[in-house]
Every structure is written in C-alpha cells, then in structure tokens.
Chain A
Amino acid sequence: MKHSLTVALKNQSVAVERFLRVVRHRGFNLTHFQLNMDDGQYHVAMTVDSDKPIHLLTTQLNKLVDVKQVTLENLHQQAM
C-alpha cells in the first residue's frame, strides 16, 4: 500500500540521511521523494510503498531528534 507523507526536518544533511535510513530499515520503499528548504528547515514530500502498516514508520520517524513533524497526507489509506 502506498502512503504519502510530509516531513519537516532540521536543515542538516545528516538529518536527511538519518531519516532515509529509517525508511529503508523499517521496510518501506521510496516511490517519490522531494526535498525543499524553507524557514530554515528541510521539507520532504514523499511516497512510500509497503505491506506494513504506516504507523510502524511514522512512530519511528517521530522519535528522531532531527524530525520536527511527520504528517500523513492520505489518512484514508492508513492501515493500523
């Protein structure tokens, strides 16, 4: 199932690296990724694909110190 998320990150290269590592390790494939910088933060819009429920990713991303906010865009697809 595909899920679209937006993520606000601290504007450091390692923040993106750290966050993408979690996406891969927790079993979510990136199908779309867009990175912008605004207001001194990185803003990521991405789509991931996985058989796993999306909360397994969002809860892990929310734990990262560099991650300021995680928003799931298509809530109707959220599998809990």
Chain B
Amino acid sequence: MTGAELTIDLLAKHGVNEVFGYPGGAIMPIYDALYGAPVKHYLTRHEQGAGFAAVGFARSTGKLGVCFATSGPGATNLITALADAMMDSVPLLAITGQVPTAAIGSDAFQEIDVLGMSLSCTKHSYMVERSEDLAEILQEAMHLAQSGRPGPVLVDIPKDIQMAQVPFHPWLAADDYLPVLDLNQVAIANQLLSEAKQPVAYVGGGVQAADAQAQLMQFLEKTQMPAVSTLKALGSVLPDYEYHLGMLGMHGGQAANLAVQECDVLVCIGARFDDRVTGNLGKFAAKAKVIHLDIDAAEVGKRKPAKASLIADLKSSLPQLECFVTEQAWLAHTKAMMTEYAWRYDYPGEKVFAPYLLNQLSQRMPQNGVVCCDVGQHQMWVAQHMKFSHPSNHLSSGGAGTMGFGLPAAIGAQVARPNDFVITVSGDGSIMMNIQELATIRRNNLPVKILILDNQRLGMVRQWQELFFEGRYSETDLSDNPDFVQLAAVFGIPGQTITHANQVDDAITALVNSEGPYIVHACIDDKENVWPLVPPGAANDEMMTESAK
C-alpha cells in the first residue's frame, strides 16, 4: 500500500466519508488514491473554501472536518481556515502535499515551509519525515484534533512518502489526559453558589465542544439562574428557557450586559472572557466572584481571576455544581430588564429592516436549520434577532472574525446535513470574499440558501468611521457592487432582489420553500447601525444606543 492509499484508507476507517480540497502537483498521489475510493471529495474553487467547508462540516456535526491542499500556495491558502478553527476550537484535519523529501530546503517549485507556518495556527502539526511514521502520525492527528479542547491539526506529507510503500501499524490512542476535578475547588464553588444573591451563568462555546447541552440545561432548569451567551454559545441555552438574557458583550443585549455587571457570582461555563465579551476588563462584572468551568487550564485566570476553578470536561464538572434555586428578587429584576430592553421591530421606514427580516426568517425557517454567518453587521444582527436550538445550528466565525467564512461553511454544513435547511447570511462585503464557491454549490447541486444584506458598504467599519473616526469614510463604499442576483444566476442559482419592507414576507417564503439553492438580495439602508454598542475602552454598562449616540 502506498502512503497515499494508506492516507485515504485511514480516513475511511476513522469514519471520514467526505473531504474538501483542491488538487495540485505535490498532492497528486493522494488525489490518485481518491479516484474511485469510498471517501467522497468535494472540489472547492479555492483552498480557503475547502478549509471553511471542512470547518462548517465539523461545526454543524461535532465530527472531524477534513481538507486537502497541495504544497506552497495551496497550503498558504488554508492558513486562514486553520487560524479560524484554532480560535474557535474546531476539530479539523488538514492534509497538505509537500515537495519530495530530497527537495525540501532547496526553494523548490511550490515549496513553502508549511510546518513552520502552521505553528501559530494549529493545535499540533507534523511533517512526515519517514514513510514508516505515516500511519501513526495520521491516526494521532485525527485523535488530537478531537480530544480535550478540539482544534486544527495539520499533516504535511512529502510527495515521495505519498508514493512510497508504507507499513500500516494500528495506533492505539494513549489514554486521554483528562484533568481530574479538584474536589476542593468544587466545594469552594458550591459554597459560592450557596451564598449567591444575584448569580449569572455565562455560557460559552465549550458547551458545544463538550456536547454538554443536556448538563447545562439541567443545571439551569433546576436553579433558574439567569444565563447569558457568547456568540459561539448561541443555541446552547434552549430558546424557551425563561431566564436566558441573550448574547452579552460589545453588541450584546442591554439586559444581558447589565445583569452581568450587577451579578455577585458569575459562573463561566466553557468561555474565555474574550475582549469582545468583557469590554473594559477591569470594570467587567466587577462585583462578581467567578466560578470558572473549562477543560483548558490555560483559560482559567488568563483574563479574569477565578475564586473557584473546575478544570475538567463540562459533562463531568457541570453535574458537580449544587443547584440552589435563584432568589425571586433577582429573577424579577432580570425579567424586568428583559422586558424593558426587548428588541423592537416597529421600524418606521419603508426600507427593509434587517433585524425584522432576520427575526421573521428565524420564525419561519425549519427549526433544525443551520445559519452560517459571515462577519460584520449582519453577523451581529443574526446573533441578536435569530433563535437557535443547538450551537451546531449557528456557525459564526467568532474568535478570528473571518469575512468569507459563511458561504463555504454553509457548503460544509449542507454536505454534512443534506436533509436540513442550510442558509448563509452574508453582507455585500463578506460574500465577495469567497464568491467563487457558488461554483461548488452548482457542481454538487447543493440546496444552500443565500441571504445578502446589502448596504453597499463595509457596514461595520463604516459604523465605526461614523462613530469614532469623525465620519471619514475611508474605503468602505461598495456602491459599485455587482448585481448579486445576476451573479448567482450565472451559476444557475435563482433568486430575487428586494428593496422594500413589504417584500420581506414573500422573499422569506421563496427562500424557505425553494427545493434547490436560492438567493435573496436584500437592499437595506446604508446608514443602519448595530445597536447597542459598547464603545472601545468602555464598560459593558456604558452601552451606546441608537437614541443616545
């Protein structure tokens, strides 16, 4: 068996049935081994598209996402997706072809030090130096990507090793090093919980990574503790939970941010006090004693000290928390804030109001549908105005904030979940960053839906220019955008443009009812901003709102 054949064989044995990639010189033996193999390959039109499709596949299922690229520029094009997966803890395996071993270090054609480049954007990476190591490395790589705190792993395979006859040795994973809960810390945490008058659960992406939604909901339902979610956690707290205050942070809801600022105990469940969450860290939840639950010890105390740290898999740590029922006075206060600061959709103008459109879409699309965002204003509106029943239904580039994520991520999600409704919500800036993937939709007849919220601007940058750069709109005007419906039509994708509020309902009907792919190009007000907003350097209770800007 050649190294290339072994690579495909091991993927299949590991249960990988779909991979995303783009061929080229140094990975040709692996593509030759793919020919007729049981592993289905989806050809994207750019390696970054392959990387994000694999991320979308992984995030929409919790399974390993796999992508292939050739050496040199093929591999460099994957780097952004690896960085994105690193920031958002996504289980991803990237396999890159490399120039033959004898040519490494000679500046050969399409030779780049991919291992060197991978160091800052992978959980771990390998370059295979001996053919006899290939089997073990691949098996270890798949294991590492999915174990502990998940992340991207890269395996760079020189072409001669792909072509060599290689031995196969089954590799038995060493017992996972899973941190053992410190029972003293559990006792401290439960003491803090017993004394809490105004507790808040701050829920992060770790809940999805640990597949711990059931344990989370059990804790919340027994305690009735008010909960707030990070961008990545959305969907972890079920939408009908009465005390979910929504997303916190820079564009979080006022009730969520104010509750956290007022709380006396903050139970951080698989989150990492990201700067977009905390605003001014010194003023964030300043009165709160922190109980931090995370599998990654490096996240505890990294940004905010914890009084109790439960370093373990959330599935085992969450049930250790005692469930004291939250005091009525605090519940009444948070409920009153939820009512006072509820989102409003009574937009006075005739234009399409993006929050209303998204809220309607959320109500009318199938409940288990997947929404894949790009990055910018539309991303925040999705987080604010759509509801999700599981974090695998909301794919949004959180830590890295990568424009161009949405369309290829939706392709990956649709491949992974062929019977589910999958839509990418994008902006007129972001969609152009991986627009070539319309060809992948066409090639594979994928029924991916596309909603573009078009303000003819790089809206989030424009908003900051308006608010913090004296209205100097440097390079954010996109009024020369192409006609997106015509553009989609070239790829065989039907759709419509809407410009008025009274067209929204029919457009959603067309999106939801279309059996194949469909695009809605919604023209929105170019001056619409995302509110509320915590300005840079401010505390989360110093939010700017539309009326107070």
Binding site for B on A (CB under 8 A): 14, 17-18, 21, 25, 53, 55-56, 59-60, 62-66, 80
Contacts and interface: CB of A to CB of B under 8 A. Distances in A.
Given A65-B124, A65-B144, A59 B297 contact: yes
Contacts of B301: 53, 55-56, 80
B115 interface: yes
B119 A21 contact: yes
Contacts of B123: 65
B120 A63 contact: no
Contact of A60 (B115, B120, B124, B298): B298
A25 B120 contact: yes
Nearest to A19: B119
Interface in B110-157: 115-116, 119-120, 123-125, 127, 144
7 contacts: A14-B125, A17-B119, A59-B298, A60-B298, A62-B297, A63-B296, A65-B123
A14 B302 contact: no
Given A18-B119, A59-B297, 19 more contacts: A14-B115, A14-B125, A17-B119, A25-B120, A55-B301, A56-B298, A56-B301, A56-B302, A59-B298, A59-B300, A60-B298, A62-B297, A62-B298, A63-B296, A63-B298, A64-B124, A65-B123, A65-B124, A66-B124
Interface string B87-126: 0000000000000000000000000000110011001110
A18 B123 CA distance: 11
A66 B115 CA distance: 14
A64 B119 CA distance: 11
Closest 4 CB pairs of A and B: A59-B298, A65-B124, A59-B297, A18-B119
B229 to A, nearest CB: 25
B120 A21 contact: yes
Interface string B288-303: 0000000011101110
Contacts of B296: 63
Nearest to A59: B298
